[in-house]
Structure 1
Amino acid sequence: MTPVRWVLDPEITPRLREELAGLWSEVVEAGGAVGFPPGTGPAGVLPELDRHLAGIGAGTTRLLLGVDEAGGPAATAFIVHTGHALMGHWVWLKTVMVRPAAQGAGAGRELMAEAERAIRGFGGIRAIRLTCRGGMGLERFYAACGYKEVGRVPDAIAVGGGELRDDVMMWRPLD
């Protein structure tokens, strides 16, 4: 794997925004389960990316960014605080993605370990929650990273062409 430098809370510049949209689109085109069907393109992911970036501005979201040797984004995980008075002891991990060229060489496991390290450093967080698309082997990947399946909504994700996939909830206790 190409070395990745991990940055928590990078400065969000117009260039980084554009590069994140490009990374997201690239992951989608490679078949990644990150919320969009193939063919969406960078402009199509921008509204959702801008929602994440608005959360950063509001202080409810943090970005863990993996930067490659060329200085571009290679991996991301958005860490989202629930904002709920009774659920402040856990965070969401959203838009977990690794540049396709870096997949299969440990970059995903490194991203998950780095996200856990960062979250442990926040203090007071006792668990991490995420969701993933069923039928892609992601449950096994997250289980290997210490997550446990805690719920499943059958056929909740329409991936196109009439195909439906389960929405799988995963939970990682930090105690």
Structure 2
Amino acid sequence: MTVHETASAPAFAQLLRAQDATETVRRDLGECWAAVINAGGAVVPMGCRLPPVSPPQVEPAVEAIVQGLAPQRSRLLLASVGDALAGWVLLRREPHALEAHCGTVNHLQTHVRFRGTGVGAALMRRLPAIAREEMGLERLRLTVRAGLGLEDFYRGVGWTEVGRWPGALRVAPGDDRDEILMSLAL
């Protein structure tokens, strides 16, 4: 049987501080991220080349996220199935005073072994309550790369498209994509 056929509802955990991220968690985050990038996911970290990548190549990006964790500023929400990291997402408060009531969602990822099991949707359904109740946020935003159908996924979990930046993302020479801005009122 495949994981897809046997996956149960994910268990959730939050990382609030750098010390919450064990070496095992950091390794699992890097392995998940590399697998997602290599499967065509739109989550290539800054400073990392396009696929194929290995977990050590995304380690600096994982470490930067981990080092930026702080309960009221930045959190990682992890989804696990059994002992395996099935997915994760980053929630950050906007630092500017005029936007401090808003949060940004980055790097939603479902490990390729758990694609199609509802892990990504479960993370996105869990996130608004954390943002509102634990961080005091009133609105969330995220951006997605056009051409992958991601906007349909986010619409399906309650988000609204509020704008596009035409041709803002250059995936490859001659392959420019719109960046889609999405919003969720809490």
State the Cα deviation string for residues 86-144 of structure 1 (Å, max 9, x = none): 11111111110111122222222111001122212225311111111111000111011
1:6 equivalent in alignment to 2:12: yes
Q: Which residue number corresponds to residue 43 of structure 2?
A: 34
- Provide Cα deviations, 1:2-50, integer angstroms capped at 9, x if missing partner: 3311001262012211110000001111111112522122122122222
3-state SS of 1:121 partner: helix
> What is the correspondence of 1:1-175 to structure 2 with a 5 Å cutoff?
1-9=7-15, 11-35=20-44, 37-56=50-69, 60-69=73-82, 71-174=83-186
Q: How big is the shift at 1:60?
A: 2.5
Q: Secondary structure at the match of 1:141?
A: helix
1:48-87 deviations in Å (ceiling 9; x for gaps): 2222112115962101001120x23111011111111111
Count residues with an aligned counterpart.
173
CA contact (8 A) 2:72 2:135 kept: no
SS of the aligned residue for 1:34 comes to coil
| Displacement over 3 Å in runs of 4+ | none
Distance of 1:106 and 1:140 partners within structure 2? 14
| Cα distance in 2 between the residues matched to 1:141 and 1:56 | 27
Which range moves more in the overlay, 52-61 or 107-116? 52-61
Aligned to 1:56, what secondary structure does the other structure show?
coil
* Identity across matched positions, percent: 31
Which 5+ residue runs of structure 2 have no aligned equivalent?
1-6
What one-letter code is carried by the residue in structure 1 that aligns with 2:41?
G
Asked if structure 2 preserves the Cα contact closer than 8 Å seen for 1:2 and 1:102, the reply is no
Q: CA RMSD in A?
A: 1.8
8 Å Cα contact 1:8/1:118 also seen in 2: no
Residue 149 and residue 7 in structure 1: after superposition, are their counterparts in 2 closer, same or farther (change >3 A)?
A: same
Equivalent-residue separation in structure 2 for 1:15 and 1:122 (angstroms): 26
CA contact (8 A) 1:91 1:125 kept: yes
